[in-house]
Amino acid sequence: MRFENDPEMERQSTPREEQASLRQAQGVATEASVAAGRVLLHRAYRRLFAQNRWVLLITVLVAAVVHYFFFLNVEWFVWKMCVYAQQAGAFLDFGARGGSLGYDDYMWRRLYPLVFDIPEFDRLGYLIRFLICGVIALLLALWRGLNAPIRLFLVTTVLICTVSTLYLAIVQDLGFDGFEISKLYLRLVLLTWVCLPIPFLLLSLGFPFNPIERLLVTFLPVVYDFGFSIVRYLVLIWLASTLGGWAVPLFFVIVGPLMMVVFYICFFSLAMKRVADRMRRDEVKGKVWRL
Amino acid sequence: MNPFLVWILQLYIYFVAVIMMVYMIRHVIFTFNRLNKNQRRFYHEILDSELPPVTILVPMHNEEVVAEGVLRALIESDYPKDLMEIIPIDDHSTDRTEEILRQYGERYPYIRPLYRRTGMRGKPAGLNDAIERASHEIVLVFDADYQPPADMVKQLAMAFVDPEVGAVMGRVVPENTRGSLLTRIIDLERSGGYQVDQQARFSLNLIPQYGGTVGGFRKSVLLSIGGFNPRILAEDTDLTYALYTRGWQVAYANRAECYEESPEDWGVRFRQVRRWARGHTQAAFRHFLPTLGSKYLNFWQKLDGVLLLGVYAVPTLLLTAILCHIVLLLSGAVAPFTLLLAAAFIIVNAYGNFAPFFEVGSATLLDGGHRRLWLLPYMAFAFVFNVWAVVGGLKDALLDVAREGTPQWEKTERFRQ
Subunit contact B361:A272, Cβ cutoff 8 A? yes
Residues in A touching B345 (Cβ below 8 Å): 188
Q: How many residues does chain A have?
A: 291
Residues in B touching A221 (Cβ below 8 Å): none
Tell me what pLDDT residue A5 has: 53
Residues in B touching A148 (Cβ below 8 Å): 266-267, 270, 385
Tell me, yes or no, whether B56 lies in a domain.
Answer: no
Instruction: Give the three-class secondary structure for A15.
Output: coil
Q: Is the pLDDT of residue B331 over 90?
A: no
Which of A163, A195, A268 faces B361 most closely, judged by CB atoms?
A: A268
Cα distance from N-terminal residue to C-terminal residue, chain B: 60
| Residue A113 and residue A35 share a domain | no
Where does residue B103 rank: exposed (0-12), middle (13-18), buried (19+ CB within 10 A)? middle
Q: Provide the chain A residues 115-134 that lie in CB contact (below 8 A) with chain B.
A: none
- Closest residue in A to B180 (Cα–Cα): A147
A203 at the B interface (CB within 8 A)? Answer: yes
CB contact at 8 A, B155 and B263? no
Q: Rounded distance, CA B25 to CA B307, Å? A: 12
A275 at the B interface (CB within 8 A)? Answer: yes
Task: Give the closest-approach CA distance of A142 to chain B in angstroms.
Answer: 13
Best of A41, A161, A265 to substitute, by most chain B Cβ atoms within 10 angstroms, is A265
Q: Rounded distance, CA A190 to CA A243, Å? A: 26
Residues in A touching B362 (Cβ below 8 Å): 206-207, 272
With b for 16 or more beta-carbon neighbours within 10 A and e for fewer, the A77-91 pattern comes to bbbebbebbbebbee
Give bridge partners of residue A110 from the DSSP assignment.
A105
With b for 16 or more beta-carbon neighbours within 10 A and e for fewer, the B4-23 pattern comes to eebeebbeebbebbebbbeb
Nearest to B166 by CA among B103, B121, B209, B109: B209
What mean pLDDT comes out for the span B316-345?
A: 74
What mean pLDDT comes out for the span A246-252?
A: 87
CB contact at 8 A, B53 and B138? yes
What total number of domains does chain B contain? Answer: 1
Strands B54-60 and B138-142 turn out to be parallel
Where does residue B176 rank: exposed (0-12), middle (13-18), buried (19+ CB within 10 A)? buried
Subunit contact A268:B364, Cβ cutoff 8 A? no
Subunit contact A272:B31, Cβ cutoff 8 A? no
- Which range, of A147-156, A195-204, B391-400, B406-415, averages the lowest pLDDT? B406-415
Nearest to B206 by CA among B26, B37, B362: B26
Q: Rounded distance, CA B235 to CA B237, Å? A: 6
Instruction: Count Cα neighbours of B28 within 13 Å in the Cβ-side half-sphere.
Output: 19
Q: Rounded distance, CA A21 to CA A44, Å? A: 27
Tell me, yes or no, whether B105 lies in a domain.
Answer: no
Tell me, yes or no, whether B297 lies in a domain.
Answer: yes
Q: Is the pLDDT of residue B47 over 70?
A: no
| Interval A273-290: pLDDT, tens | 888 888 877 776 667 777
Chain centre to alpha carbon of residue A42: 32
CB contact at 8 A, A162 and A133? yes
Tell me what pLDDT residue A110 has: 79
Nearest to B413 by CA among B177, B95, B116, B119: B95
Residues in A touching B366 (Cβ below 8 Å): 43, 46-47
Q: Which residues 6+ apart lie within 8 Å of A128 measured at CB?
A: none
Tell me, yes or no, whether A280 lies in a domain.
Answer: yes
Instruction: Give the three-class secondary structure for B139.
Output: strand
Tell me, yes or no, whether B81 lies in a domain.
Answer: no
CB contact at 8 A, B89 and B129? yes
Tell me what pLDDT residue B400 has: 83
What mean pLDDT comes out for the span A110-133?
A: 87
Nearest to A147 by CA among B36, B46, B270: B270
Task: Give the closest-approach CA distance of B207 to chain A in angstroms.
Answer: 18
Instruction: Give the three-class secondary structure for B85.
Output: strand
A267 at the B interface (CB within 8 A)? Answer: no
CA angle, A196 as apex, A194 and A201 as ends, to 5°? Answer: 115
- Closest residue in A to B32 (Cα–Cα): A206
Residue B277 host element (H or E): helix B266-293
A194 at the B interface (CB within 8 A)? Answer: no
- Which range, of A12-16, B199-203, B402-406, averages the lowest pLDDT? A12-16
Residue A186 belongs to what domain range? 53-120+174-290
A9 at the B interface (CB within 8 A)? Answer: no
Q: Is the pLDDT of residue B300 over 70?
A: yes
Residue A23: pLDDT band with limits 50, 70, 90: very low
Q: Provide the chain A residues 51-90 that lie in CB contact (below 8 A) with chain B.
A: none
Residue A78 host element (H or E): helix A74-92
| Interval B130-176: pLDDT, tens | 999 999 999 999 988 888 999 899 989 989 988 999 999 999 999 88
Q: Which residue has the higher pLDDT, A131 or A202?
A: A131
User: What mean pLDDT is reported for chain B?
Assistant: 87
Tell me what pLDDT residue B414 has: 66
Tell me, yes or no, whether B354 lies in a domain.
Answer: yes
CB contact at 8 A, B233 and B275? yes
Q: Torsions phi, psi of B215, nearest 5?
A: -170, -165
CB contact at 8 A, B397 and B278? yes
What mean pLDDT comes out for the span B281-302?
A: 93
Task: Give the closest-approach CA distance of A89 to chain B in angstroms.
Answer: 24
Q: Is the pLDDT of residue B336 over 50?
A: no
CB contact at 8 A, B95 and B64? yes
Got the DSSP string for A162-181? HHHHHHHHHH------HHHH
- Closest residue in B to A274 (Cα–Cα): B370
| Residue A95 and residue A24 share a domain | no
Subunit contact B254:A167, Cβ cutoff 8 A? no
Subunit contact A47:B34, Cβ cutoff 8 A? yes
| Residue A29 and residue A57 share a domain | no
Q: Is the pLDDT of residue B337 over 80?
A: no
CB contact at 8 A, A94 and A137? no
Q: Rounded distance, CA B372 to CA B365, Å? A: 10
Nearest to B25 by CA among B377, B352, B364: B352
Which of A44, A50, A269 faces B255 most closely, judged by CB atoms?
A: A44
Instruction: Count Cα neighbours of B313 within 13 Å in the Cβ-side half-sphere.
Output: 16
Residues in A touching B17 (Cβ below 8 Å): none
Subunit contact B335:A180, Cβ cutoff 8 A? yes
Best of B365, B367, B375 to substitute, by most chain A Cβ atoms within 10 angstroms, is B365
Tell me what pLDDT residue B415 has: 65
Which of B330, B342, B380 faces A168 most closely, judged by CB atoms?
A: B330
- Closest residue in B to A289 (Cα–Cα): B366
| Residue A217 and residue A256 share a domain | yes
Subunit contact B38:A207, Cβ cutoff 8 A? no
Q: What's the CA dihedral at B205, B206, B211, B217 to 10 degrees?
A: 50
- Closest residue in A to B324 (Cα–Cα): A253
Residue B307 belongs to what domain range? 1-43+162-417
Tell me, yes or no, whether B89 lies in a domain.
Answer: no
Q: Rounded distance, CA A79 to CA A73, Å? A: 10
Residue A130: pLDDT band with limits 50, 70, 90: very high
Tell me, yes or no, whether B63 lies in a domain.
Answer: no
Q: How many residues does chain B have?
A: 417
Q: Rounded distance, CA B51 to CA B160, Å? A: 10
Which of B195, B350, B382 faces A257 most closely, judged by CB atoms?
A: B350
Tell me what pLDDT residue B262 has: 85
Q: Which residues 6+ apart lie within 8 Å of A34 measured at CB?
A: A16, A17, A19, A20, A286
Q: Rounded distance, CA B396 to CA B389, Å? A: 11
Which ipTM was obtained for this model?
A: 0.81
| Residue A284 and residue A220 share a domain | yes
| Residue A30 and residue A61 share a domain | no
A272 at the B interface (CB within 8 A)? Answer: yes
Residue B265: pLDDT band with limits 50, 70, 90: confident
Residue A24: pLDDT band with limits 50, 70, 90: very low
Q: Rounded distance, CA A36 to CA A7, Å? A: 24
Tell me, yes or no, whether B274 lies in a domain.
Answer: yes
Instruction: Give the three-class secondary structure for A48.
Output: strand
Tell me what pLDDT residue A268 has: 82
- Which range, of A76-80, A213-217, B50-54, B228-232, averages the lowest pLDDT? B228-232
Tell me, yes or no, whether A135 lies in a domain.
Answer: no
- Which range, of A58-67, A134-143, B2-11, B44-53, averages the lowest pLDDT? B44-53
Instruction: Give the three-class secondary structure for B59.
Output: strand
| Residue A100 and residue A35 share a domain | no
Best of B384, B386, B387 to substitute, by most chain A Cβ atoms within 10 angstroms, is B384
Radius of gyration of chain B (CA): 22
CB contact at 8 A, B57 and B29? no
Q: Rounded distance, CA B375 to CA B382, Å? A: 11
Residue B6: pLDDT band with limits 50, 70, 90: confident
Subunit contact B366:A277, Cβ cutoff 8 A? no
Subunit contact A207:B254, Cβ cutoff 8 A? no
Q: Which residue has the higher pLDDT, B319 or A5?
A: B319
Subunit contact B325:A171, Cβ cutoff 8 A? no
Instruction: Give the three-class secondary structure for A114.
Output: strand
Which of A45, A192, A273 faces B39 most closely, judged by CB atoms?
A: A45
Q: Is the pLDDT of residue A226 over 70?
A: yes
Could you give the strand order of the β-sheet that contains B138-142, starting from the edge strand earlier in sequence?
A: B114-116, B84-91, B54-60, B138-142, B214-218, B165-174, B249-260
| Residue A269 and residue A223 share a domain | yes
CB contact at 8 A, A127 and A98? no
Q: Rounded distance, CA B159 to CA B44, Å? A: 9
CA angle, A251 as apex, A245 and A253 as ends, to 5°? Answer: 110
| Residue A13 and residue A99 share a domain | no
Q: Which residue has the higher pLDDT, A18 or B324?
A: B324
Q: Is the pLDDT of residue A7 over 50?
A: no
Q: Which residue has the higher pLDDT, A14 or A27?
A: A14
Nearest to B304 by CA among B182, B407, B200: B200
| Residue A196 and residue A98 share a domain | yes
Ramachandran area for residue A99 (φ above 0: left; ψ -120 to 50: alpha; else beta)? left
| Residue A13 and residue A61 share a domain | no
Subunit contact B364:A272, Cβ cutoff 8 A? yes
What total number of domains does chain A contain? Answer: 2
Residues in A touching B327 (Cβ below 8 Å): 167
Subunit contact A152:B322, Cβ cutoff 8 A? no
- Which range, of B9-23, B97-111, B326-340, averages the lowest pLDDT? B326-340
Cα distance from N-terminal residue to C-terminal residue, chain A: 37
Tell me what pLDDT residue A286 has: 66
Tell me, yes or no, whether A125 lies in a domain.
Answer: no
Taking CB atoms and an 8 Å cut-off, how many pairs form between chains A and B? 178
- Closest residue in B to A190 (Cα–Cα): B342
Tell me what pLDDT residue A276 has: 85
Q: Rounded distance, CA B242 to CA B247, Å? A: 9
Residues in B touching A107 (Cβ below 8 Å): 339
Got the DSSP string for B56-76? EEEEESS-TTTHHHHHHHHHT
Subunit contact B365:A252, Cβ cutoff 8 A? no
